[in-house]
Amino acid sequence: MTTRRKFLIGAGAGIAALGSSRFGNAQDRVRSTTAIAGLQLIDEIVPPGAQPAGAPIVVSTWNHGQAANEAAWSILAQGGRALDAVETGVRVTEGDPKITSVGYGGWPDRDGHVTLDSCLMDEHGNAGAVAFLQDIKHPVSVARAVMEKTPHVMLAGAGAKQFAIEQGFPAEDLLTDGARREWEKWRKEKKYIPWSEQSNPANHDTISQLALDRHGNLSGACTTSGLAFKMHGRVGDSPIIGAALFVDNDIGAACATGVGEEVMKTVGSFLIVELMRQGLSPNDACREGVERIVSKNPQWRKMQVGYLALDRAGNVGSYALQPHFQVAVRDKKTNELRDVADRVAEKR
Ligand code: SD4
């Protein structure tokens, strides 16, 4: 099967982004141009079997993304599938009790319940998600089972838990002693400030991970315990396809971390992939996603949202509302944590 990317050129500043191609070598590439309604469309055709020069690669949000990347890399380096890589990767974060915003050890809601949200999406556009799931340590794997074993995209709450148990996932208490202590401390004051990163940096640590495998296929996953001490029943962006995660194998993938309400209202990850479809680089597309929040919400300085994008050539981009956002990148040459301090709306 032939894969095509269409670029709009001559459609205004910032739209043309032809310089970033990393598909194979030049001889592998065939380009044709067509003029339509004053815009020039360029088709970039990747022949069957061509491996993007930037592949394989895996990228994640935050510093704990490095451990998740390592696990994902062990699959990608052997020629494994991006979907398997991201599921394996974020399971590391879900299972780590020291990470207080994802899975086991996640800080609970106001009533002391750990409630989890997760989704994943593959190279065919298949998607699975769970929301408001309790007592199951690996929501990303339940999300995958929803995708592969049901005709649905999302299961929530008691139904999601029932499905997980039917699938053989063990039910267990996810509230660690440490998380309980934090909740008890919080209960003394009961100050409900769900979105101020300044007041509570531990509020923001959701892992979102994107991978491009050796076969040129993209997948992504996102998993979280959501905002600490949130209202019981609150669901954020993390299980919402198009908000916290979107993958289009012809174009690229994007994912989010931060205040989910802002990401949901602007359908952030879908927006970023669509902007890449129009020719924006992953960085510029993430910046536009952040600017959309700035233009809609005058309170944007009080909250954090970070976006991370990967195009199908293996180019990485990121942008955030505030400093303190980091992305972990792992490919053949790189294994590093990047500060996104310079690419933030606050510095405009
Ligand atoms: C949420 N987006 O539940 C998540 C929280 C988050 O880093 O990403 N924190 O809104």
Active site residue 33: no
Q: Is 61 in the pocket of ligand 1 (CB under 6 A)?
A: no
The helix-helix angle for 157-166 and 139-149 (nearest 10°) equals 80
Phi, psi of 302 (to 5 degrees): -90, 5
Instruction: Provide the token pair at 122.
Output: 């593959």
Is domain 57-346 annotated with CATH 3.60.20.30? yes
Nearest CA, atom 3, ligand 1: 226
> What are the tens digits of pLDDT across the range 263-294?
999 999 999 999 999 999 999 999 999 999 99
**One of 176, 206, 224, 266 is an active-site residue; which one?**
206
By CB neighbour count within 10 A (0-12 exposed, 13-18 middle, 19+ buried), where does 323 fall?
middle
Q: Mean pLDDT across the stretch 162-182?
A: 97
pLDDT of 192: 67
| Residue 195 predicted with pLDDT over 80 | no
Span from the CA of 23 to the centroid of ligand 1 (angstroms): 34
Q: Where in the chain are the domains?
A: 3-46, 57-346
Q: What is the spatial distance between Cα 164 and Cα 315, in angstroms, rounded to a whole number?
A: 36
Span from the CA of 166 to the centroid of ligand 1 (angstroms): 28
User: What are the DSSP calls for 10-35, one per residue?
Assistant: SSSTTT--GGG--BS-GGG-EEEEEE
pLDDT of 123: 98
pLDDT of 71: 98
| Residue 34 predicted with pLDDT over 50 | no
Q: How confident is the model at residue 52 (pLDDT cuts 50, 70, 90)?
A: confident
> What are the tens digits of pLDDT across the range 226-258?
998 999 999 999 999 999 999 999 999 999 999
pLDDT of 347: 82
pLDDT of 41: 35
Q: Is 204 in the pocket of ligand 1 (CB under 6 A)?
A: yes
Pick from 226, 227, 225, 282: nearest CA to 251: 282
Mean pLDDT, the chain, as a whole number?
86
> What are the tens digits of pLDDT across the range 208-223?
999 999 999 999 999 9
Q: What is the spatial distance between Cα 136 and Cα 300, in angstroms, rounded to a whole number?
A: 33
100, 116, 204, best to mutate for ligand 1 pocket (most atoms within 8 Å of CB):
204
Question: Which residues neighbour 188 within 8 Å (Cβ) at sequence distance 6 or greater?
Answer: none
Q: How confident is the model at residue 204 (pLDDT cuts 50, 70, 90)?
A: low
pTM for the whole thing? 0.86
Question: Which residues neighbour 245 within 8 Å (Cβ) at sequence distance 6 or greater?
Answer: 119, 120, 121, 208, 220, 221, 222, 253, 254, 255, 256, 269
Which ligand 1 atom minimizes the distance to the CA of 234? 3
Span from the CA of 319 to the centroid of ligand 1 (angstroms): 16
pLDDT of 142: 98
pLDDT of 6: 43
> Who wins on pLDDT, 5 or 122?
122
Q: How confident is the model at residue 324 (pLDDT cuts 50, 70, 90)?
A: confident
> What are the tens digits of pLDDT across the range 78-112?
999 999 999 999 999 999 999 999 999 999 999 99
| Residue 313 predicted with pLDDT over 90 | yes
Q: Is 109 in the pocket of ligand 1 (CB under 6 A)?
A: no
Angle 51-279-287 (CA atoms, 0-180°, nearest 5)? 105
| Residue 49 predicted with pLDDT over 80 | no
Q: Mean pLDDT across the stretch 13-30?
A: 34
| Residue 27 predicted with pLDDT over 60 | no
Q: What is the spatial distance between Cα 229 and Cα 190, in angstroms, rounded to a whole number?
A: 9
Nearest CA, atom 10, ligand 1: 260
